[in-house]
Structure 1
Amino acid sequence: MPGFPRLGAQEHHAKSASSANGVKLRSQFFPDELISTNERYGTIHDNLRARRKGRAFKVKVPIYRDTETPWPWKESKHLHSPNGVQEQDARRGEDQAENFIYGDSMSYGPSCCGLQITMQARNLREARYLHDQLCPIGPILMALSAATPFFRGFLTDTDLRWNQSALAVDDRTSQELKASSSAPRWSHSAMYISDDPRCHSKYNKPVCKGGQRIEQQLQRGGMDALLASHYATILARDPIALTKKELQDHEDVDLFEILQSAVWPHVDFKVPSSDGKAGWRVEFRPLEVQPTDFENASFAIFVALLARTILHFDLNLYIPIEKVEENMQRAHTRNAVMSERFFFRRKIHPTQEEKRNLDDEYTMMTIDGVINGSESSSSEAIQSFPGLIPLVQSYVEDEYAAEPQEKRRQLLKHLDLIRKRATGELPTPASWMRRFVQEHEEYKQDSIVSERICFDLMQRIRDLGAAHAFSDELGT
């Protein structure tokens, strides 16, 4: 699962030798003893704190309002000890301090787990194209994989870890936040980068300023404008992951990799490795890790097959990048699979004519419509959409026709989990875990995940993972 449900809960570490308010994290809820001793982790933490110039670490997640949840809710008011960062917010009047769960450490980001899938392309051009086409897919599959209905021992009103992680590693100063002069390090991909003629400038938005000199220098070296703009946004940042040892031995250090590895887009464009063993790659990063191996395998297989399907049919999934950004936020809605609609391109085949008006190229679709397809509706002015699963199935039939039927059957079995998640026939892990808590005999309808509830949930997930139990609801 993406994160331990009670990580950072009050008194969670009271029975151990660990204590909060350590000299490293300075966190009220997260002891220093829990953090990794890896030098790079400590370096990133210290540099993030230094670069924020006094701005406190603040992770805010909306609390889920159940029937007995005190409302308006405030941790300091309804529990026995105050939440320092929440009280600071309330005193300053900078933000709405009520009805949110507050965290006060960078560790609430890196402590979460995701399912990341890296695919190698045949060449640079294919990698750039694949990067762009996967960007609009990211929010859709992120919502389908939702598995984070908890934060610090409370039920949340969101199902994902993404924004939580982004807030935890945001190194911008207060002035930069107000001026919107730079994007956060953990965010949606900032721009499309393909040299495909279908990648029109209208799909990108102006990139945050700050790297013009670097961009010009890259172009003078022979890099095209799009790629130069992409890398300028990375190279213009401070090297927060550079350790003292690497600074001293700089001749043997891959400085570019250190800079790039400290920027976390939802689809990452990766250069070939310095040893030549890996070529141009694309890393799909927004998925939540799943409770069982079968679920994780299903998402990994689907993403890999979808990437090949996109290349096979030369699909065009472009929508404005700001709509991808909006979709990333829509995906955070509780039970977004069933309750939200997402921006997606109407016509995705290369033979279909593009609209002159940008707004006519995309529409709002349900996740079921995107994944499984939809029929046209004259009453709602909706055109038919083929669906990603049917397209992947067509690719499998074309490319795996000579393979044994059992092999194809196994592939389709994994696709079936994705299909059923999209229709709502199977719940997301977040919905399943939320229901487990709400139906537990110790739950008091007050949004609190007690130690007993947490233990029973973790035991249930352990049994599912070890195949000691079967869950019809999860499809495993």
Structure 2
Amino acid sequence: MGLLSHGSPLSWEETKKHADHVRQHGITQFLNIYNKVKERQKDVLKWGDEVEYMLVAFDHENQKVRLVLKGEEMLDTLQGRGEKINPNHPTLWRPEYGSYMIEGTPGQPYGGTMAEFNTVEDNMRKRRQEASSLLLDNVSICTITSFPRLGCPGFTLPEFPPTPVEQGASKSLFFPDEAINKHPRFSTLTRNIRHRRGEKVAINVPIFKDRNTPTPFIERFANDPGAEAKAALPDHIYMDAMGFGMGNCCLQVTFQACSISEARYLYDQLATICPIVMALSAAAPFYRGYVSDIDCRWGVISASVDDRTKEERGLEPLKNNKYLISKSRYDSIDSYLSTCGEKYNDIDLTIDKDIYSQLTREGIDHLLAQHIAHLFIRDPLTLFEEKIHLDDANESDHFENIQSTNWQTMRFKPPPPNSDIGWRVEFRPMEVQLTDFENSAYVVFVVLLTRVILSYKLDFLIPLSKVDENMKVAQKRDAVRQGMFYFKKDISKAGNVAVDGCCTAANGTEAETEEYTLMSIDTIINGKDGVFPGLLPILNSYLENMEVDVDTRCTILNYLKLIKKRASGELMTAARWLREFVACHGDYKQDSVITDKINYDLLVRCNQIANEQVSCPELLGFSTRIKQSGNKNTPL
């Protein structure tokens, strides 16, 4: 999760004193990197995925399941057995926000050959097996996006009470500080977001109104002596800490492009795909023991790290702050980077004008300069005493300090100083899935889509305001079947895109509304005669023209079959499957409440599915390999 520096963390008041210093030197560091590698060409395709995991303990006697606060110990062991003794170890492990979480990636990036797609699932299995080998019999490693009873009494093992009154990082009514990873970055982020904002974060998720859900739905909080929950809204599930967002799990993919222009082109094109894939991967319908009316975690995380003051949110006149800022620092992108996208940049962009002027004077073009100047309206949220004064020619910590805490749907990543790593883009909106097969399918789909975008010079760009509207739709309940999304009608205008990913056509005119229309996910993914060709038919056409061995082709087609059936509604998203499990549970009272018993039975089933102990054809579309039988996965 972003930059992990070591040292003595500063309080928000101390960090604030150095904010301009961090910004100034961060820009200098960016310029040094840019000037060294701006002409760099012909880097080969490399890519990798990041999967986040939760540690859960099953109390079979009492039929409860809790989150195990052992992530740091587990991480030390995994690193000690892996990368610390073998730099070519096939897996890498990193810390995540929750002390019940870890993150796993492949040990080395994947390359550009099609055969690499046939190794993704094996590597994910290896990660799951490596981590599982360290666990007690009643503990499992799970790829669930949101733990249904996160923040409910006794949700951790060992159990800790929240400390809303005492000094601490979050001062949450529900989320104990012991559930935060012990690395000082995480608690410092939590505390400094709260201090900078001037109050606790406020997350309000609409409750799903079932037959017996109270109307209005209003909670009373017994442990709230200071009326801290005044931000809670009627008919909403209230949460008050960074952990409710960053304590969720996701699935991400990072690509190395061959040049900076290709990276900018991919950044833009994939930004329009983010809400589509978010809806397709929806897996987070439950929060703090309740059934919500959303299916995705994105807005929850956005609110959980929203450090904007009342002035910056437009609730009070600007007096102590410089900018009115329209979004949390965790949100969708605000500007395209390629010249192809310039005419579609229709969102008002708040920038640091001094930084923009500095960048343009140094030769940075308008689009990249405004992107960086927009990121740098934010303050650093963490700063370590030992990291204040750096060698700007050879370090990039100040740049990364700001860059890595702008958590957007896409991230444009310059190469680290003095490295052989190229220009990269990170695709960030996906929810993690229950099984390695599903996670591999989504990763391969996105990576394959980048190959097709570059090979066919596809153009998905629409006004960014419409992408923002799509982001809102994507998070709604059952958006994959019910939602309608703005999408470009003709994506094959190859004449507008040059080989290096920059536009050759003039871009001075405004985008015309007839370029795009509302489509269903099914139409966007699978196509509809006379409306849109569909992304999967284009991917299949690409595969037919590639030399691919039979085994790899079969693997890819199985992955794409899952995507196809999820998009059509023939197979459930994880969110829909989770909802139906709860709705059909014998203890569920149609009151939107997820009890310990319901949660236990649900997580037991999720764990069985993930470990191939039971099949789930309504979710996966095939008979899952059962470990005892040794049979291969067989598509239906």
TM-score normalised by length of structure 2: 0.68
CA offset digits 1:2-60 (Å, max 9, x no partner): 121101024546983444425212111111111111111122122212211x2321111
In 1, the alpha carbon distance for the partners of 2:510 and 2:349 equals 24
**1:168-207 residue pairs with structure 2 within 5 A?**
168-178=304-314, 181-182=324-325, 183-195=327-339, 198-207=340-349
In 1, the alpha carbon distance for the partners of 2:591 and 2:225 equals 18
Q: 1:417 to 1:191 in 2, by over 3 A?
A: same
- Structure 2 match to 1:222: 363
Q: 1:81 to 1:55 in 2, by over 3 A?
A: closer
Match of 1:63 among 194, 201, 207: 207
In 2, the alpha carbon distance for the partners of 1:5 and 1:357 equals 42
- Structure 2 match to 1:387: 534
AA of the residue aligned to 1:365: M
- Structure 2 match to 1:431: 576
**1:44-55 residue pairs with structure 2 within 5 A?**
44-52=189-197, 54-55=198-199
In 2, the alpha carbon distance for the partners of 1:288 and 1:14 equals 25
Is contact 1:185-1:265 (8 Å) kept?
yes
Q: 1:14 to 1:427 in 2, by over 3 A?
A: closer
Match of 1:280 among 416, 419, 423: 423
Match of 2:451 among 292, 297, 308: 308
| Superposition deviation, residue 389 in structure 1 | 0.5
| Superposition deviation, residue 243 in structure 1 | 2.3
Is contact 1:138-1:266 (8 Å) kept?
yes
AA of the residue aligned to 1:221: E
- Structure 1 match to 2:439: 296
1:157 to 2:293 alignment: yes
CA offset digits 1:342-389 (Å, max 9, x no partner): 00001110258999761111100000000001112xxxxxxx211000
In 1, the alpha carbon distance for the partners of 2:346 and 2:243 equals 32
- Structure 2 match to 1:363: 517
| Superposition deviation, residue 460 in structure 1 | 0.8
Q: 1:367 to 1:352 in 2, by over 3 A?
A: farther
In 1, the alpha carbon distance for the partners of 2:304 and 2:262 equals 33
In 1, the alpha carbon distance for the partners of 2:414 and 2:262 equals 13
In 2, the alpha carbon distance for the partners of 1:62 and 1:338 equals 20
- Structure 2 match to 1:146: 282
Is contact 1:13-1:19 (8 Å) kept?
no
AA of the residue aligned to 1:270: K
Q: 1:202 to 1:298 in 2, by over 3 A?
A: closer
Match of 1:105 among 241, 244, 253: 241
Q: 1:356 to 1:177 in 2, by over 3 A?
A: closer
Q: Per the alignment, in what secondary structure is the counterpart of residue 609 of structure 2?
A: helix
**Of 135-144 and 403-412, the range deviating more from structure 2:** 403-412
| Superposition deviation, residue 416 in structure 1 | 0.5
Q: Per the alignment, in what secondary structure is the counterpart of residue 429 of structure 2?
A: strand
Q: Per the alignment, in what secondary structure is the counterpart of residue 355 of structure 2?
A: helix
In 2, the alpha carbon distance for the partners of 1:290 and 1:323 equals 27
| Superposition deviation, residue 141 in structure 1 | 0.5
| Superposition deviation, residue 75 in structure 1 | 1.6
**1:71-470 residue pairs with structure 2 within 5 A?**
71-76=215-220, 87-89=229-231, 97-178=233-314, 181-182=324-325, 183-195=327-339, 198-209=340-351, 211-247=352-388, 254-351=397-494, 358-376=512-530, 384-399=531-546, 402-470=547-615
**Of 98-107 and 233-242, the range deviating more from structure 2:** 233-242
CA offset digits 1:92-112 (Å, max 9, x no partner): xxxxx2100000111111101
In 2, the alpha carbon distance for the partners of 1:236 and 1:425 equals 45
In 1, the alpha carbon distance for the partners of 2:510 and 2:247 equals 45
| Superposition deviation, residue 88 in structure 1 | 1.1
Q: 1:13 to 1:304 in 2, by over 3 A?
A: closer
Q: Per the alignment, in what secondary structure is the counterpart of residue 75 of structure 1?
A: coil
- Structure 2 match to 1:381: none
| Superposition deviation, residue 89 in structure 1 | 3.2
In 2, the alpha carbon distance for the partners of 1:119 and 1:85 equals 47
CA offset digits 1:81-136 (Å, max 9, x no partner): 7797785137xxxxxx2100000111111101110000110000000000000011
AA of the residue aligned to 2:528: S
1:474 to 2:619 alignment: yes
AA of the residue aligned to 2:341: C
In 2, the alpha carbon distance for the partners of 1:89 and 1:46 equals 18
- Structure 2 match to 1:4: 147
| Superposition deviation, residue 255 in structure 1 | 1.1
| Superposition deviation, residue 80 in structure 1 | 7.0
Q: Per the alignment, in what secondary structure is the counterpart of residue 207 of structure 1?
A: coil
Q: 1:215 to 1:452 in 2, by over 3 A?
A: same
The percent identity for this pair of structures is 40
In 2, the alpha carbon distance for the partners of 1:253 and 1:141 equals 32
Is contact 1:85-1:103 (8 Å) kept?
no
TM-score normalised by length of structure 1: 0.91
| Superposition deviation, residue 224 in structure 1 | 0.3
Is contact 2:285-2:293 (8 Å) kept?
yes
Is contact 2:154-2:160 (8 Å) kept?
no
Q: 1:239 to 1:266 in 2, by over 3 A?
A: same
1:37 to 2:173 alignment: no
Q: Per the alignment, in what secondary structure is the counterpart of residue 286 of structure 1?
A: strand
In 1, the alpha carbon distance for the partners of 2:461 and 2:160 equals 53
Is contact 1:68-1:445 (8 Å) kept?
yes
In 2, the alpha carbon distance for the partners of 1:85 and 1:158 equals 27
In 2, the alpha carbon distance for the partners of 1:413 and 1:324 equals 29
Q: Per the alignment, in what secondary structure is the counterpart of residue 474 of structure 1?
A: helix
| Superposition deviation, residue 146 in structure 1 | 0.3
| Superposition deviation, residue 241 in structure 1 | 2.8
Q: Per the alignment, in what secondary structure is the counterpart of residue 109 of structure 1?
A: helix
In 1, the alpha carbon distance for the partners of 2:225 and 2:305 equals 20
- Structure 2 match to 1:94: none
- Structure 2 match to 1:27: 172
Q: Per the alignment, in what secondary structure is the counterpart of residue 491 of structure 2?
A: coil
Q: Per the alignment, in what secondary structure is the counterpart of residue 282 of structure 1?
A: strand
In 2, the alpha carbon distance for the partners of 1:288 and 1:144 equals 9
Q: Per the alignment, in what secondary structure is the counterpart of residue 336 of structure 2?
A: coil
| Superposition deviation, residue 277 in structure 1 | 3.0
Is contact 1:39-1:243 (8 Å) kept?
no
| Superposition deviation, residue 249 in structure 1 | 6.0
**Of 358-367 and 200-209, the range deviating more from structure 2:** 200-209
Higher strand share: 2
AA of the residue aligned to 2:235: N
In 2, the alpha carbon distance for the partners of 1:351 and 1:37 equals 50
Is contact 2:202-2:231 (8 Å) kept?
no
In 2, the alpha carbon distance for the partners of 1:31 and 1:162 equals 22
AA of the residue aligned to 1:359: T
